[in-house]
C-alpha cells in the first residue's frame, strides 16, 4: 500500500482513539478510579512501555542544559495537562471536553505571539476572539448538571486550562523533538511525569480495588494506558514520516465529531443547541486563526 495512505490511516486512527477516549475514560470515573489516580496509572504504564521500547534503540546522552526543558515539558504536557483534563472530565461531559480542547491551536497561536514573537493579523485576532467566545459559552452557560457530571462549568474551565497547558508544552518541547530520538524523549518525559504525579495521585491510586476489577473496567483502563497514551503517539510518529505536522493537525478536528457520535451512540452524552452553537464558534475561530494566507502568483509580462 502507498506509504502516504498508510500515514493517513495512522493519523486518522490516532484521532479516532482520542475521540472515543473522552467517553471511555469518563465511564471509569469516579466509580472505578478517581481522576488523579487514573493519571498516575496512565503515566506509570506509559513510562514502563517506553523504557522497555528504549532497550531496542541506541542509548542517547541528554545534554545538561536540556534537563530543565524536559522537566518543564513533563509538567505542562503530562502533569498539569492530564490533571486538568481528567479532573474536568470527571465534572463535565465527553462532548464538552472534545469541543473545548479544539481551542488549543488558538491558544498556541497566542502563546507563539507572546514567546516566539509571531505576528497576529486581524483575521487571526478575529479567530482568537470567536474561539474564546465559543469556549466561554460552554463554560458560563453550560450550568445544567446531569448524571455523572456534577459541575459542568468548572469542568469546562479545567478543559480550557488543559488546552492552554498542552499549548505551552508544544512550545517548550519543540527544540527537543528534533534533537533526540522520540523514544528517548518519551521515556524521560513519562518518567518525570510519574515522579511528579506520584504524590498527587498515590492516595486515589491505592483506593482502587485492583483485585476486584471487572473485565469491562480492565479493558477500558488498558485502552487508556496503551491506546490513548502509547499507540496514539506511535501512530502520529509514523504519520509524521510521510505527512507534514500541519496535515496531521487537521485530524485533530475530527475528534469532536468522533467523540459526539460515540458518546451519543453509547448513551453517555447528548447533543444540545448550546453545544452546537459553541462548537460552531470554536471551529470557525480555529479556522480563521490557523488558515494560511494564500500567496499570490506573480507573473512577468
The residues with which 146 forms a beta bridge, in sequence order, are 149
CB atoms within 10 A of CB 219: 11
**Spatial distance between the Cα atoms of 148 and 214, rounded to a whole number of angstroms:** 20
Q: Span 94-109, mean pLDDT? A: 70
Answer yes or no: is pLDDT of 51 > 60. yes
Residue 293's pLDDT band (cuts 50, 70, 90):
low
Mean confidence (pLDDT) of the chain: 80
Name the range with the highest mean pLDDT among 114-118, 119-123, 131-135: 119-123
Q: Span 115-135, mean pLDDT? A: 69
Tell me phi and psi for residue 30, to 5 degrees.
Answer: -100, 10
Answer yes or no: is pLDDT of 147 > 70. no
* The pLDDT of residue 84: 92
User: What are the residue ranges spanned by the domains of the chain?
Assistant: 3-290
Q: What letters, b where the CB count within 10 A reaches 16 and e where it falls short, cover 85-111?
A: bbbbbbbbbbbbbbbbbbbbbbbbbbb
* The pLDDT of residue 190: 93
Q: Span 70-79, mean pLDDT? A: 92
Q: What string of DSSP letters covers 73-110?
A: HHHIIIIIHHHHHHHHHHHS-HHHHHHHGGGHHHHHHH
Between 135 and 129, the more confident residue is: 129
* The pLDDT of residue 144: 54
Long-range CB contacts (< 8 A, 24+ apart) of 194-198? 194/40, 194/43, 194/44, 194/47, 196/74, 196/75, 196/79, 197/36, 197/39, 197/40, 197/43, 197/78, 197/79, 197/82, 197/83, 198/40
Tell me phi and psi for residue 149, to 5 degrees.
Answer: -140, 75
Q: Span 83-102, mean pLDDT? A: 80
Answer yes or no: is pLDDT of 62 > 50. yes
Q: What string of DSSP letters covers 195-243?
A: HHHHHHHHHHHHTS-GGG--HHHHHHHHIIIIIIIIIHHHHHHHHHTTS
Cα-based distances in Å from 64 to 13, 68, 72, 260 = 36, 8, 14, 45
> Could you read off the pLDDT of 15-24 as tens digits, one per residue?
889 889 888 9
* Residue 133, C-beta contacts closer than 8 angstroms, at least 6 positions apart: 281, 285
Answer yes or no: is pLDDT of 283 > 60. yes
Between 15 and 252, the more confident residue is: 15
Surface-to-core class of residue 159, CB atoms within 10 Å of its CB (0-12 exposed, 13-18 middle, 19+ buried): buried
Name the range with the highest mean pLDDT among 100-114, 118-132, 198-212, 263-277: 198-212
φ/ψ region of 300 (left if φ > 0, alpha if ψ in -120 to 50, else beta) reads: beta
Residue 234 C-alpha cell reads as: 506511535
* The pLDDT of residue 196: 95
* The pLDDT of residue 146: 59
* The pLDDT of residue 142: 53
Question: Percentage helix, strand, coil, to 5, in the chain?
Answer: 80, 0, 20
Share of the chain above pLDDT 70, in %: 74
* 3-state class (DSSP) for residue 149: strand
Answer yes or no: is pLDDT of 42 > 80. yes
* The pLDDT of residue 298: 44
* The pLDDT of residue 225: 92
Q: Span 145-159, mean pLDDT? A: 75
Amino acid at each position: 500500500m502507498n506509504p502516504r495512505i498508510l500515514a493517513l490511516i495512522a493519523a486518522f486512527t490516532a484521532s479516532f482513539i482520542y475521540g472515543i477516549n473522552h467517553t471511555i475514560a469518563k465511564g471509569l470515573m469516579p466509580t472505578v478510579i478517581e481522576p488523579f489516580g487514573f493519571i498516575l496509572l496512565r503515566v506509570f504504564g506509559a513510562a514502563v512501555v517506553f523504557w522497555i521500547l528504549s532497550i531496542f534503540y541506541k542509548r542517547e546522552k541528554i545534554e545538561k542544559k536540556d534537563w530543565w526543558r524536559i522537566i518543564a515539558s513533563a509538567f505542562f504536557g503530562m502533569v498539569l495537562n492530564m490533571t486538568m483534563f481528567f479532573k474536568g472530565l470527571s465534572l463535565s461531559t465527553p462532548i464538552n471536553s472534545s469541543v473545548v480542547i479544539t481551542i488549543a491551536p488558538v491558544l498556541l497561536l497566542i502563546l507563539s505571539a507572546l514567546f516566539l514573537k509571531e505576528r497576529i493579523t486581524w483575521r487571526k485576532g478575529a479567530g482568537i476572539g470567536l474561539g474564546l467566545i465559543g469556549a466561554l459559552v460552554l463554560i458560563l452557560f453550560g450550568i445544567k448538571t446531569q448524571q455523572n457530571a456534577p459541575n459542568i462549568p468548572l469542568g469546562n474551565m479545567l478543559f480550557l486550562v488543559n488546552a492552554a497547558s498542552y499549548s505551552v508544552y508544544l512550545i517548550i518541547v519543540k527544540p527537543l523533538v528534533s534533537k533526540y530520538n522520540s523514544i528517548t524523549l518519551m521515556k524521560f518525559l513519562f518518567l518525570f511525569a510519574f515522579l511528579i504525579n506520584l504524590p498527587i495521585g498515590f492516595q486515589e491510586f491505592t483506593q482502587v480495588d485492583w483485585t476486584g476489577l471487572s473485565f469491562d473496567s480492565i479493558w477500558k483502563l488498558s485502552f487508556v494506558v496503551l491506546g490513548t497514551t502509547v499507540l496514539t503517539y506511535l501512530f502520529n510518529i509514523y504519520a509524521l514520516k510521510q505527512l507534514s505536522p500541519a496535515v496531521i493537525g487537521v485530524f485533530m478536528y475530527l475528534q469532536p465529531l468522533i467523540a459526539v457520535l460515540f458518546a451519543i451512540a453509547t448513551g453517555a452524552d447528548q447533543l444540545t443547541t448550546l453545544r452546537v452553537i459553541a462548537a460552531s464558534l470554536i471551529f470557525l475561530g480555529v479556522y480563521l486563526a490557523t488558515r494560511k494566507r494564500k500567496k499570490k502568483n506573480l507573473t512577468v509580462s
